[in-house]
Amino acid sequence: MEKYMFLFLGGDTSHLSPEKQQAHMEKWFEWVEKLKNEQRYVAGEALMPGGKTVAGAKKVVTDGPYAESKELVGGFFVILAKDIDEATMIAKDCPDYVLDGIVEVREVIKFD
Amino acid sequence: MHDSQVNQLIDHLFRHEAGKMAAVLTRLLGFHSLELAEDIVQDTLLKAVSTWKIKGVPENPPAWLYTVAKRKAIDAIRKHQLQAQHNQQIHQGLRSEWTLSSTVDDFFTKEEIEDSQLRMIFACCHPAIPYESQIALTLKTLCGLSIAEIASSFLTSQEVINKRLYRAREKIREARIVLEAPALAALPGRLEAVLHVLYLLFNEGYNSSHPDQLIRHDLCEEAIRLCVLLTRNPTTDTPDARALLALLCFQASREDARTRPDGSIVLLKDQDRSQWNTALIERGKYYLETSTSDGAPSTYHIEAAIAGSHSRARTFEETDWKSIAMLYNLLYQMKPGPIVALNRAIAFGYSESPTAGLNALRKITGLNDHYLYHAAMGDFHALNGNESEAFHCYQSAEQRAVSPVQKKLLAMKQFELSSRVRG
């Protein structure tokens, strides 16, 4: 099994009612539960919106990584999968696609 | 990560807490800061969604939400240096950095939250805002109903409700309306709208527009709880408030008998009446008996009398349809509308004859899109032994029903009819 990282972009729920927001979140709980039951789940973190960007030789500091919430990375998972195809299949279970969410699937490089 | 806590989030937690937080925050920040309070609630829930979906549910979800909301409120107070147009005592506490946190903390105690909700409902029912906008605003902000749910309770579209909400907010801004808990003397003037809010809140719970749920007990309980609070305060303990509470108790007494464990509907005719909650029926009777006044009865009085009459009948056959039809006549004079007309026609049909019922139903206009209208037509055709007409009506009803449980019931009716014809 190899490690893969899922980067979650977008998936904005701000237009939903509290009831719908909760319902959407519960779909995530089911997904995480499934990943844990299959012993694929390794780690996950949620990221605050906003932040700072440092760039260039002059180390220019700007506010926020991106302006568009569509492109904002909201968090990530590290999961186990046989290969990139299997990891991609698993990523298709992410509940955020209905909210125009995007999942980037990246293999974690093994250092040996 | 709390592996075992997955899926353990209380149903409707967000909806409940959104209303509570909005109420507390508006009281804290001043009633003129309704929009700021709504933004803080929105931000708090968004933060919960983005964190919990990845990290799981925290130990104490409401406490987590309150902590975030408190922090955001303190930030807002610092940033806006909110001018205290409100309570002097609150202002004192908020002015100094030293006491800011503890004053904010004080607002998130259980008692204060409960108090704030009712107070805010009265505040939102401000007479300068158009009546229907007051009610839409209150249901949205304080009861946490979605636009779709509010639209369904008013039998109208979501655009109409959006417009009403927009108008309410515009009015608050333009006329610089200060939403604040009215003085004692002004409470009775706003009570009518407040009772209407509780009535609609209960109805949404009792006949949920949610596709997968017929009854949402939490909404019914909430409406009853708030109505009980009204009857405990001498200023708001009016005959109308008691009549509404009586109605809610009678309706709620049938909640358990109205659905099967699989969620399907049991019609009044087929309900196991021993499952009716007698304690609630007794409470209903008590409130109705003590709701008399010298003034004219309200629609709540009439509706409570109808619901009370049903709960007196030990069997469906014993139902006193003559009185019920008469009460619906009265109700129709006070509140003419297609749904009351529909119920009146049904009661009339049971007290006179199925043909009389059909004739009364045919006179109603504006309900062609409503499944209950076609279902009622079907019932009377079936009683008249006119199976093919009945079958046709149930089909039309099924096409127009919203929730799967309603559709299932109508499909069952068609099935029963066809086996009757064959058998």
Q: What percent of chain B has pLDDT over 90?
A: 42
Q: Is the pLDDT of residue B7 over 50?
A: no
Q: What is the DSSP letter of A95?
A: G
Higher pLDDT, B154 or B304: B304
Nearest CA in chain A to B49: A25
pLDDT at position A6, please? 97
- Which residue, chain included where needed, has tokens 């955020």? A96
Give the DSSP per-residue string, B241-309. Answer: HHHHHHHHHHHHTTHHHHB-TTS-B--GGG--GGGS-HHHHHHHHHHHHTT--SSPPPHHHHHHHHHHH
Give the up-direction half-sphere exposure of residue B170: CA atoms within 13 A in the CB hemisphere.
8
- Cα separation of A41 and B49, whole Å? 20
Alpha-carbon distance A32 to nearest alpha carbon in chain B (angstroms): 8
- Asked if B214 contacts B208 with a C-beta cutoff of 8 angstroms, the reply is yes
Residues contacting B38, CB < 8 A, separation 6+ = B22, B141
Contact criterion met (CB < 8 Å) for A25 and B9: yes
3-state secondary structure chain B: CCHHHCCCCCCCHHHHHHHHHHHHHHHHHCHHHHHHHHHHHHHHHHHHHHHHHHHCCCCCHHHHHHHHHHHHHHHHHHHHCCCCCCCHHHHHHHHCHHHHHHHHHHHCCHHHHHHHHHHHHHHHCCCCCCHHHHHHHHHHHCCCCCHHHHHHHCCCCHHHHHHHHHHHHHHHHHCCCCCCCCCHHHHHHHHHHHHHHHHHHHHHHHCCCCCCCCCCHHHHHHHHHHHHHHHHCCCCCCHHHHHHHHHHHHHHCCHHHHECCCCCECCHHHCCHHHCCHHHHHHHHHHHHCCCCCCCCCHHHHHHHHHHHHHHCCCCCCCCHHHHHHHHHHHHHHCCCHHHHHHHHHHHHHHCCHHHHHHHHHCCCCCCCCHHHHHHHHHHHHHCCCHHHHHHHHHHHHHHCCCHHHHHHHHHHHHHHHHHHHC
**pLDDT per position as a tens digit, A76-99:** 999 999 999 999 999 999 999 999
Mutual angle of helices B13-29 and B34-55, in 10-degree steps: 140
Q: What is the DSSP letter of B173?
A: H
Residues counted in chain A: 112
Determine the residue among B50, B57, B141, B212 to mutate to test chain A binding: the one whose Cβ has the most chain A Cβ atoms within 10 Å: B50
Determine the residue among A9, A15, A19, A79 to mutate to test chain B binding: the one whose Cβ has the most chain B Cβ atoms within 10 Å: A19
**List of chain A residues whose C-beta atoms are within 8 Å of the C-beta of residue B12:** 19, 22
Which residue in B292, B323, B297 sits closest to B308, CA to CA?
B323
pLDDT at position B159, please? 92
Contact criterion met (CB < 8 Å) for B6 and A21: no
Q: Is the pLDDT of residue B2 over 50?
A: no
Alpha-carbon distance B7 to nearest alpha carbon in chain A (angstroms): 6
Best mean pLDDT range from A37-41, B96-100, B115-119: A37-41
pLDDT at position B31, please? 64
pLDDT at position B312, please? 92
pLDDT at position B235, please? 83
pLDDT at position B163, please? 92
Higher pLDDT, B91 or B223: B223
Element (H, E) at A76: strand A73-81
Q: Is B12 on the interface with A (CB under 8 A)?
A: yes
Which residue in B361, B399, B406 sits closest to B383, CA to CA?
B361
- Cα separation of B205 and B149, whole Å? 10
* Prediction ipTM score: 0.85
Tokens of B11: 């149903």
pLDDT at position B6, please? 45
Residues contacting A82, CB < 8 A, separation 6+ = A1, A2
The residue-averaged pLDDT of B141-166 equals 85
Cross-chain CB nearest to A25 (options B15, B17, B52): B52
Q: Say which range, A54-68, B26-40, B80-94, B133-147, has the weakest mean pLDDT.
A: B80-94
pLDDT at position B3, please? 44
Q: Is the pLDDT of residue B88 over 80?
A: no
Q: Say which range, B89-98, B166-175, B249-258, B330-339, has the weakest mean pLDDT.
A: B89-98
pLDDT at position A108, please? 95
Tokens of B31: 């009633």
Q: Report chain B's mean pLDDT, rounded to a whole number.
A: 85
Residues contacting B355, CB < 8 A, separation 6+ = B380, B384
Contact criterion met (CB < 8 Å) for A44 and B54: yes
The answer for A52, left when phi > 0, alpha when psi is -120 to 50, beta otherwise, is: beta
Q: Is B53 on the interface with A (CB under 8 A)?
A: yes
Tokens of B73: 């409120």
Categorize the per-residue pLDDT at B85 as very low, low, confident or very high, splitting at 50, 70 and 90.
very low
Higher pLDDT, B246 or A50: B246
Tokens of B185: 């003397």
**pLDDT per position as a tens digit, B278-323:** 999 999 999 999 998 888 899 999 999 999 999 999 999 999 999 9
